[in-house]
Each structure stands twice: as structure tokens, then as C-alpha cells.
């Protein structure tokens, strides 16, 4: 089988497509999954460029990627045979960008409900899960106003929807080319990066919480000077000094529970949430996909595709 391999910290263009042995199922709790999709994530790019090597030291070569969606083709003797040939999504800590995955952690594998496409379900990993974590940690209640930076990305497009489901007034910050997308997802107001924020905020209600997904300190400086004593929660900046003495800053990192993943899948099945997919590219075009993530104005999730001729 083929896999996307990182052999150095020389960035996106150093990624390689390499051959690996087909994983053998020895663990009785394991399942073998034929990969259909893997999400392209900022985490991958940060790893490829060495920006995470203090937090995540690795021994090269490594397989890139974290989440996956695929079809179960083999199960260990302690796993339910009902999983065979079923679509699933999951997390692969040892790297997911490969044609076959041996999933050995049962809590990190989730069957996809009927009526939900496997591509849509795959966007939950590193997208809806992070958004749900942010919403839970923010403790926002119905009627409160939240301002979301980086709202057009794979996390932001879900956070806009989840915040609206929670009854919040949502102000989304994104590029002007994505105004219609954010409005369609339920944003009450959209602020354009490329226009004066002060002018746009004149008609906005009092903001109770900023949730930062963009990771741009200069943008937060502008917002916090304009908004006064507002709390800031970031998934993108580990450290930030607010401009106002009464502003509290919190960096959030972590995981949601298996029940939370099942809840998010159920919301997709009920059409309460919509997966936003920017594009799908074959896994052999991984460099192009990662450049699109870094260089373009995001519109949801970029997916790599595998084994599509059999889908």
C-alpha cells in the first residue's frame, strides 16, 4: 500500500508518497480499514515545518495525518463482525494518510449513520470536534453574543453552526469572498477582514466572548481595543496579552469524548449540521492540498481521497 511520509522538517514540498507493508491484523481488538478520505489539517503543516517539534518530537520517517474515513474490511476476534463493510470515521495517532489503516483503539472508531456521506462524516475529525470543544469550554449560553475569528475554516464553519444551535448570536469574521458562505451557515453578522472593523462593529450587539481560530495576534489586538472587557478563548494562540486589563485570555487544547463524536454524527444525520468541503484531491496530490490550505482563503475542509474507484 502507499502512504504519505514525512522524512524531514523541510516543509510541504518534502512530503513523499512511499510504499508500506499492508497492515496485518494480530490484535484481537483491531480492525483493518480501507481508507476513503483523510482530512488535511493545519496540525499536519505545523508538524512538517518543525513548528511542533518541541511539543511533538518525532523519529523520521513518519506517516502524516490524524483523522480518517473508510470502510471496515477485517475485524479482530473481539470486535463485532457487524462492523464488516461498514463506513467508519476515526483517529489514527500513528498517521492516517495511507491506503489501509489498522485501528487498534475501539473508542476512537465511530460508525457513520445512514444518510450521512462518508466524506461529510470525515470532516468531523479536526473540525466539528475542535469546534465542539471550544463551545463547551466557552460556557456560552443562549442569548449571548460570540465573535468567531477564522470562521471560514474547517473548525469555524462548524463552530458558527454549533453556536447558533446553542442559541447564541454569532458574529463571524472572514474574508469578504466567504460572506455568503458564513451567512448560509447561520452567522447573524459577518465582518470582513479587508474592511474597517470599527465601522462594521458599530451596529453589533455587545460581544460576550471572542473565540479565536485564526491565531493572529494583530487581529485580536484590533478587536480587543474595540470591544472592551470581553473574554477571549483561543484554539490557535497558546499565549496572548489582552489590550484591556479586564479581558481574560484562555488557550484551549484537548479532546472531546466518544459520546460527543456520536452526538456530532447524529446532528449531521438530522441535518442540524452541514459539512463544508472546500475540495477533494487524490492523496498523491498531497503537496497541492497542503499548499491550498496554507495559501488560500479557507472554505471548510480539504479532503484527500483514496480507493475511490471501488467506492
Q: Strand, helix or coil at 296?
A: coil
Domains of the chain (ranges; CATH) run 2-123+275-310 (3.90.180.10), 128-251 (3.40.50.720)
Task: Annotate 246-267 with three-state secondary structure.
Answer: CCCEEECCCCCCHHHHHHHHHH
What is the average per-residue pLDDT within 112-132?
Answer: 98
C-alpha closest to that of 209 among 283, 280, 159, 253: 159
Q: Which pTM does this prediction carry?
A: 0.95
| pLDDT bucket at 54, cuts 50 / 70 / 90 | confident
C-alpha closest to that of 151 among 132, 126, 170: 170
pLDDT digits (tens, 9 = 90+) for 223-271: 989 998 899 999 999 999 888 788 899 999 999 999 999 999 999 999 9
| pLDDT bucket at 311, cuts 50 / 70 / 90 | low
Mean pLDDT of all residues in the chain? 94
Residue 51 is predicted with a pLDDT of 87
C-alpha closest to that of 7 among 67, 45, 66, 63: 63
Say how far apart CA 4 and CA 287 lie, in whole Å. Answer: 10
Task: At 249, list the grid cell.
Answer: 485570555
CA dihedral sign of residues 128, 130, 136, 141: negative
| pLDDT bucket at 53, cuts 50 / 70 / 90 | confident
What is the average per-residue pLDDT within 131-154?
Answer: 96
Contact predicate 32/74, CB 8 Å = yes
Amino acid at each position: 500500500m502507499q502512504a504519505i511520509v514525512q522524512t524531514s522538517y523541510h516543509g510541504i514540498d518534502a512530503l513523499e508518497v512511499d510504499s508500506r507493508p499492508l497492515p496485518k491484523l494480530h490484535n484481537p481488538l483491531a480492525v483493518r480499514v480501507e481508507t476513503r478520505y483523510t482530512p488535511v489539517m493545519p496540525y499536519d503543516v505545523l508538524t512538517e515545518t518543525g513548528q511542533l517539534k518541541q511539543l511533538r518530537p518525532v523519529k523520521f520517517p513518519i506517516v502524516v495525518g490524524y483523522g480518517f474515513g473508510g470502510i471496515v474490511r477485517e475485524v479482530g476476534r473481539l470486535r463485532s463482525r457487524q462492523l464488516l463493510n461498514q463506513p467508519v470515521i476515526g483517529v489514527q495517532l500513528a498517521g492516517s494518510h495511507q491506503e489501509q489503516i489498522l485501528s487498534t483503539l475501539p473508542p476512537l472508531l465511530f460508525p457513520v449513520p445512514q444518510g450521512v456521506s462518508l466524506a461529510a462524516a470525515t470532516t468531523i475529525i479536526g473540525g466539528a470536534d475542535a469546534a465542539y470543544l471550544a463551545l463547551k469550554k466557552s460556557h456560552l449560553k443562549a442569548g449571548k453574543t460570540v465573535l468567531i475569528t477564522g470562521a471560514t475554516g474547517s473548525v469555524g464553519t462548524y463552530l458558527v453552526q454549533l453556536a447558533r444551535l446553542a442559541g447564541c448570536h454569532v458574529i463571524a469574521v472572514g474574508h469578504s469572498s466567504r460572506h455568503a458562505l458564513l451567512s448560509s451557515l447561520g452567522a447573524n453578522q459577518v465582518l470582513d477582514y479587508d474592511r474597517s472593523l470599527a465601522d462594521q462593529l458599530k451596529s453589533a450587539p455587545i460581544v460576550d466572548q471572542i473565540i479565536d481560530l485564526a491565531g493572529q495576534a494583530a487581529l485580536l489586538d484590533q478587536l480587543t481595543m474595540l470591544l472592551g472587557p470581553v473574554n477571549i478563548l483561543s484554539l490557535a494562540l497558546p499565549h496572548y496579552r489582552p489590550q484591556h486589563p479586564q479581558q481574560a485570555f484562555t488557550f484551549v487544547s484537548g479532546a472531546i469524548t466518544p459520546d460527543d463524536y456520536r452526538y456530532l454524527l447524529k446532528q449531521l444525520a438530522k441535518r442540524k449540521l452541514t459539512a463544508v468541503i472546500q475540495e477533494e484531491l487524490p492523496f498523491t496530490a498531497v503537496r497541492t492540498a497542503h499548499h491550498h490550505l496554507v495559501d488560500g482563503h479557507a472554505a471548510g475542509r480539504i479532503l484527500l481521497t483514496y480507493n475511490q474507484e471501488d467506492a
